[in-house]
Amino acid sequence: MNIKRRSVLKGMALGGLAGLSLGRTGLSSAGTFAKTLTRKPLLVLVSSAEAEAPFAAGVQANPAATVATVLRTDHGLEFISALQRQLNASNGERIIGLVDDASGALILDLARSAGARLHWSGQHVTEGDHSRHRLSATLDVINCIGQFAALTNDCSRPSSLPQQTLTAGRQWAGALGFSLSSPNPGRRYLRATPPVAAAALGGHYVSFFIET
């Protein structure tokens, strides 16, 4: 996979950025995924180098994520305006991310306002050797929850519900990047392919999977 690192504004000129406000009410039903999703570029948003390292390693390990661009988020007006334009373009681009709480709230609110489809939202907290994950997914990507749990060390067993809370160890960000970057998360070969080992990520984070 070719993961390109470039400035946020240059990346937005090429394609998607996204957002919404966390919470279960933020999820909107997207219907059946178009088959062309597997051929569309993937935009990966991160808010820091600490989040980028393990999350991007997971994306890179996924054989379905053939083309991905990694971009850093920004709270400036220029970034917000460019993000709004991209969300309103409604070009069917896939956007996933792992960002801090403030960036997550901003991105999710903008996406909701633009009418973008939120397939996944997550709240992630790591304290000491343990982590907690509050996850919400549409039926289109509900298998991402099971895949995330299967690839995360010491993760509690998920149920079949689209909204649930899991506990796990510290090294979860790579598994999350791997799971969200797949347009077909239920495929057996993806379940059997673990993400690249990466450094543990601490603190509070928000994840999302948005389609414009």
The 3-state secondary structure of 84-104 reads HHHHHHCCCCEEEEEECHHHH
Q: List residues bridging with 5 in a β-sheet.
A: 70
For position 191, what pLDDT does the model report?
Answer: 60
For position 130, what pLDDT does the model report?
Answer: 94
The answer to whether 37 and 104 have CB atoms below 8 angstroms apart is no
Predicted structure pTM score: 0.79
Domain extents for the chain?
A: 2-211
From CA 107, how far away is CA 102, in angstroms rounded? Answer: 9
Neighbour-count burial for 80-101, b at 16+ CB within 10 Å, e otherwise: bebbbebbeeeeebbbbbbbbb
Confidence of residue 88 (pLDDT cuts 50, 70, 90): confident
Stated as kind and residue range, the H or E segment containing 43 is strand 42-46
Query: How far is CA 109 from each of CA 17, 26, 128, 201, 210, rounded to the nearest angstrom?
Result: 13, 9, 30, 25, 12
From CA 158, how far away is CA 138, in angstroms rounded? Answer: 15
Is the per-residue pLDDT at 31 higher than 60? no
For position 11, what pLDDT does the model report?
Answer: 40
Is the per-residue pLDDT at 6 higher than 90? no
Share of the chain above pLDDT 70, in %: 73
Is the per-residue pLDDT at 112 higher than 70? yes
Is the per-residue pLDDT at 18 higher than 50? no
* Mean pLDDT, the chain, whole residue set: 78
For position 23, what pLDDT does the model report?
Answer: 30
For position 75, what pLDDT does the model report?
Answer: 82
- Euclidean distance between the first and final Cα of the chain, in Å? 23
Is the per-residue pLDDT at 53 higher than 70? yes
Mean pLDDT is lowest, of 22-36, 118-132, 147-161, for: 22-36
Rounded to an integer, the average pLDDT of 12-30 is: 34
Stated as kind and residue range, the H or E segment containing 119 is strand 117-127
Evaluated on CA atoms 191, 176, 53, 212, the torsion sign reads: positive
For position 146, what pLDDT does the model report?
Answer: 92
Residue 194 DSSP class = P
Evaluated on CA atoms 47, 49, 55, 60, the torsion sign reads: positive
For position 4, what pLDDT does the model report?
Answer: 44
Q: List residues bridging with 120 in a β-sheet.
A: 137, 209
Neighbour-count burial for 168-177, b at 16+ CB within 10 Å, e otherwise: bebbbbbbbb
For position 71, what pLDDT does the model report?
Answer: 84
For position 161, what pLDDT does the model report?
Answer: 94
The answer to whether 203 and 104 have CB atoms below 8 angstroms apart is no
Per-residue model confidence as pLDDT tens digits over 155-211: 999 999 999 999 999 999 999 999 998 867 666 656 666 666 677 888 999 999 999
